[in-house]
Amino acid sequence: MAAEVEVTVVTMRDIFQDEAGRKSRFSDEYRDQSALIILDKQDMATLGAKDGQSLQVKNDVGSVVVAAKTSEDNPHQGLAFMYNSPWSNQLVSDAVSDSSIPGFKSIKATISAAEENVTQISEIQARIKG
Amino acid sequence: MVGAMEIYMLLPKTNCKECGLPTCMAFAVGLLGREKKIDECTPLIEEKKYEAKLKKLRELMAPLENASETGLIIHPEKCFGCGNCVVACPVNVAAEPTRCGVGLGPQSEKVILKVEDGVVVCGNLEECRRFGPNKTLCNACTATCPSKAIEFV
Amino acid sequence: MAICTGCSLLCEDIEAAEKDGALSHVKNLCRKGHGHFQAAYTERTVPMIDGEQVDLDRAIAKAAEILKSAKSPLLYGWSNSTLEAQAVGIKLAEKLGATIDDTSSFCQGILMERILSGKLPTCTLDDVRNYADTSIFWGSDPSSSHPRHLSRFSYYPRGDKRQKSYEEERTCIAVDVRKSATANLCPNYYFQVAPGGDAQFMEAILAVLEGKIPKVGDKKKMIGLGSILKKTEWGVIFAGLGMVYSLQEKMDLFERLVAKLNEITTFKVVPMVGHYNMRGFNELLLEKTGFINRVSFKDGKPAHGPEHSVVASAKTCDAALVIGSDPFSALPFGTARALAKVPLIAIDPRRSLTTDGAKVVIPSALSGMEAGGTGVRMDGVKIKFEPIIKSDLPTDEQILTRIMEAI
């Protein structure tokens, strides 16, 4: 049984990822800057993951393959960070509470090692088109 | 950042005094402070047995090549263009109290730091308080940088 | 001087001039603003219907046709358009009996409501620069989202009553789930909260302000925070998405905290709005209908409610107009999928996931660069701007007016 980690994903802003997104949503640069998940060192170890390795992030809403990145922050096991992007939004539910605000900063997901490469933007576009 | 010990380990360690300084350690310190140049260590340059060490030393010192007299280095690829350094720099503020002093971009050429094309650029470094006979350990620009894009050697 | 429409700071000291079809040696734009300006030169849209390029007149005619024949059209976006364009948009929604919503709906809406209604005391950014001795960034990382915030207003510049500024007279505090770039600038005043833990943190502050023992881990640090707050002469809380998303239905608690702080001293709240003119739309719609977002004109009289939010309407509308926004990238997968099922008209200067999935694409001039108009800064200050780049593209205002005429 492959190693799995349960996390809460919180989305955040990054000035370099924002810059890449302003230039183009379709570039390799935007994908490289956006399709990643920042994990606590311990969680990385549990997964046996290295920086840049493909990880599958999955929940009831969907699943996406992104690159692993080790966090430089104080330990935060069980908490993972992604930049707000089409990749993170594959995991955000549109079922909303009274305030009708989606849970952008409280996404529950399971992470495991992935065989495939990082999900391409064209794949996300195809999924949206249905 | 590079330390004197790191540099010393790549020198001949013979204290031959050909560079004009009494010891190799003194030369290492001199290199770091940019008072000496690598090429002043004749044995290191001329003797084949030091070829590997010379190469490594040049690589080690390369980032400092770009440092100014004051030891200021800017890494534009890390810079947010936030202007914190522009507004914190005491020379900037003194030169443009109604602009840099209150958060606006400078208009004169007298300032040390300004943001151009999205990132910080420096000039007039002879005006920097870390330079010259009355130098102080001013660190306004480095202490206010959110991304370590600006640092001192 | 140009004005940057890259975020809601609307910086006015930008020196940018086009030379030989390019911008170079542009002064004072932060990295984000610089990216925003340079984006004018790449991936521009052209008029399209069903993926084929057409002339502008046909695209506009098709857009009008789709909206006219729709029974429940949705008009969404708005936060990257000028006040002048937004005003036409609201009129269009009324004429169509459509639902109109903007990005505040899933962003700063519940905070903005309270600020515009007076439930939360607010101020201008210039007031902050002149008077604030304590700036609290709550669930907000301005270094990354509004890069010049600290240098222009909230921490580093000198002000009338704060001549010694950050060195002696200002304190910057960061409350966040992670040690952000902003938190790294004030590491001794960084307070970490767990996701969803902001309510508990607010209760703890209230306890300390009332002289009680706070129910948190680091009691000493909390009591220290209480001292700073009590000694503050003029404080400001910059509330970001981190706080808003965490509190959601519990915004009343934040009102209680701010009220308590104002019993002791002066404390204001400024919303950390993202897009350059989200507040403009909220203020306009409020004036016109009594609501800041999520309005339906279906029954003539404006109705407001969560069912009229873009997230809910995406599933019930039969046509959508998306202006200056990219919901396919920025909204939950389900919402993007729902919007992809209906005929979608995208008005946008640049290609996005949404324009790629639109039935009709109408290219527009970039406001702030190619089109002039008025924007409202995050603090409510109106800023008028003129274009600095010549363009033959129609402005949002012109496009919407033409659509309205054709209906």
* CATH code (residue B24): 1.10.15.40
Q: What is the DSSP letter of C379?
A: T
Q: Are C184 and C163 in the same domain?
A: yes
Q: Are B81 and B136 in the same domain?
A: yes
Q: Are C213 and C168 in the same domain?
A: yes
If one counts every other C-beta atom within 10 angstroms of the C-beta of residue B38, the result is 17
In a domain, C346, yes or no: yes
Tell me the average pLDDT of chain C: 96
**Mean pLDDT across B74-102:** 97
From the CA of C159, how many Å to the nearest CA of chain B? 7
- Residue B4: the pLDDT is 85
Domain boundary among B65, B85, B102: B65
Euclidean distance between the first and the last CA atom of chain B, given in angstroms as a whole number: 6
Q: What is the pLDDT of residues C189-225, one digit of tens each?
A: 999 999 999 999 999 999 999 999 998 878 999 999 9
CATH (residue range A4-129): 2.40.40.20
**Contacts with A46 (C-beta within 8 Å, 6 or more apart), sequence order:** A3, A5
pLDDT greater than 60 at residue C75: yes
Residues C58/C60/C62/C67 CA torsion (nearest 10 deg): -170
Q: Are B55 and B82 in the same domain?
A: no
Q: Are C233 and C256 in the same domain?
A: yes
When divided into structural domains, chain C yields a total of: 2
Select from C327, C110, C272, C302 the least CA-distant residue to A100: C110
Selected for mutation to probe chain B from C19, C41, C151 (highest B CB count within 10 Å) is C151
- Residue A99: the pLDDT is 65
- Residue C56: the pLDDT is 98
ipTM: 0.95
Helix (H) or strand (E) holding C167: helix C165-168
In chain C, DSSP finds a helix count (H) and a strand count (E) of 18, 18
- Residue C86: the pLDDT is 98
Instruction: Give a three-class secondary structure readout of chain B.
Output: CCCHHHHHCCCCCCCCCCCCCCCHHHHHHHHHCCCCCHHHCHHHHHCHHHHHHHHHHHHHHHHHHCCCCCCEEECHHHCCCCCHHHHHCHHHHHHCCCCHHHCCCCCCCCCCEEEECCEEEECCHHHCCCCCCCCCCCCHHHHCCCCCCEEEC
pTM above threshold 0.80: yes
In a domain, C130, yes or no: yes
State the Cα–Cα distance between residues C179 and A72, nearest whole angstrom: 9
Q: Choose among A84, A91, A129: nearest Cβ to C340.
A: A129
Q: Are C115 and C205 in the same domain?
A: yes
φ and ψ at residue C2, rounded to 5 degrees: -105, 165
Check CB contact under 8 Å for A89 and C353: no
**Contacts with B108 (C-beta within 8 Å, 6 or more apart), sequence order:** B95, B96
Q: Are B76 and B61 in the same domain?
A: no
φ and ψ at residue C231, rounded to 5 degrees: -85, -10
Q: Are B35 and B99 in the same domain?
A: no
- Residue A97: the pLDDT is 67
pLDDT greater than 60 at residue C381: yes
Q: Are B24 and B61 in the same domain?
A: yes
Report domain extents, chain A: 4-129
Torsion-angle region of C299 (φ positive above 0: left; ψ -120 to 50: alpha; else: beta): alpha
Q: Are C296 and C397 in the same domain?
A: yes
CA–CA distance from A47 to each of A42, A66, B109, C178, C250 (Å)? Answer: 9, 14, 54, 22, 36
Q: Are C113 and C262 in the same domain?
A: yes
Check CB contact under 8 Å for C248 and A89: no
Q: Are B146 and B125 in the same domain?
A: yes
Residue of C nearest to A18 (CA): C32
- Quick check: C304 contacting A, CB < 8 Å? no
Domain boundary among C228, C246, C271: C271
- Residue C228: the pLDDT is 97
pLDDT greater than 60 at residue C325: yes
Q: Are B89 and B58 in the same domain?
A: no
- Residue B126: the pLDDT is 85
Q: What is the pLDDT of residues B23-39, one digit of tens each?
A: 999 999 888 877 888 99
Domain boundary among C254, C271, C288: C271
Query: A101 to chain C: which residues are within 8 Å by CB?
Result: 106, 109-110, 244-245, 248
Check CB contact under 8 Å for A74 and C340: no
In a domain, C23, yes or no: no
In a domain, C11, yes or no: no
CA angle C404, C290, C261 (to 5 degrees): 135
pLDDT greater than 80 at residue C258: yes
Do C39 and A22 touch, CB atoms closer than 8 A?
yes
Secondary structure of residue C270 in the 3-state scheme: strand
Q: How far is CA C176 from the centre of its chain?
A: 20
From the CA of C64, how many Å to the nearest CA of chain A? 23
CA–CA distance from C200 to each of B26, C245, C308 (Å)? Answer: 58, 14, 31
When divided into structural domains, chain B yields a total of: 2
Check CB contact under 8 Å for C181 and B146: yes
Do A84 and A104 touch, CB atoms closer than 8 A?
yes
| Residue B66: pLDDT band with limits 50, 70, 90 | low
Which of C11-20, C47-56, C320-329 comes out lowest in average pLDDT? Answer: C11-20
Q: Are B136 and B92 in the same domain?
A: yes
State the Cα–Cα distance between residues C200 and C87, nearest whole angstrom: 41
- Residue B65: the pLDDT is 66
Domain boundary among C271, C292, C319: C271
Q: Are C140 and C239 in the same domain?
A: yes
Q: Are C291 and C252 in the same domain?
A: no
Check CB contact under 8 Å for A96 and C180: no
Select from C96, C70, C135 the least CA-distant residue to C272: C135
Q: How far is CA C361 from the centre of its chain?
A: 24
Query: A129 to chain C: which residues are within 8 Å by CB?
Result: 340, 357
Instruction: Give a three-class secondary structure readout of chain A.
Output: CCCEEEEEEEEECCHHHHHHHHHCCCCHHHHHHHCEEEECHHHHHHHCCCCCCEEEEECCCCEEEEEEEECCCCCCCCEEEEECCCCHHHCCCCCCCCCCCCCCCCEEEEEEECCCCCCCHHHHHHHHHC
For residue C87, the enclosing domain spans 45-106+276-405
For residue B11, the enclosing domain spans 4-65
Chain C, residues 14-43, CB within 8 A of chain A, namely 31-32, 34-36, 38-39, 42-43
Do B25 and B9 touch, CB atoms closer than 8 A?
no
If one counts every other C-beta atom within 10 angstroms of the C-beta of residue B55, the result is 11
Residue of C nearest to B105 (CA): C28
**Mean pLDDT across C123-152:** 98
**Mean pLDDT across C304-325:** 96
Q: Are B47 and B82 in the same domain?
A: no
pLDDT greater than 70 at residue B1: no
Burial of A106 (0-12, 13-18, 19+ CB in 10 A): middle
From the CA of B33, how many Å to the nearest CA of chain C? 28
Q: Are B78 and B59 in the same domain?
A: no
pLDDT over 70 percentage in chain C: 100
Position of tokens 């202006």? C323
State the Cα–Cα distance between residues C32 and C288, nearest whole angstrom: 33
Q: Are B56 and B100 in the same domain?
A: no
Per-residue pLDDT of chain A (130 residues), as tens digits, is 579 999 999 999 999 999 999 999 999 999 999 999 999 999 999 999 999 999 999 999 999 999 999 999 999 999 999 999 999 999 999 987 666 677 788 899 999 999 999 999 999 999 999 8
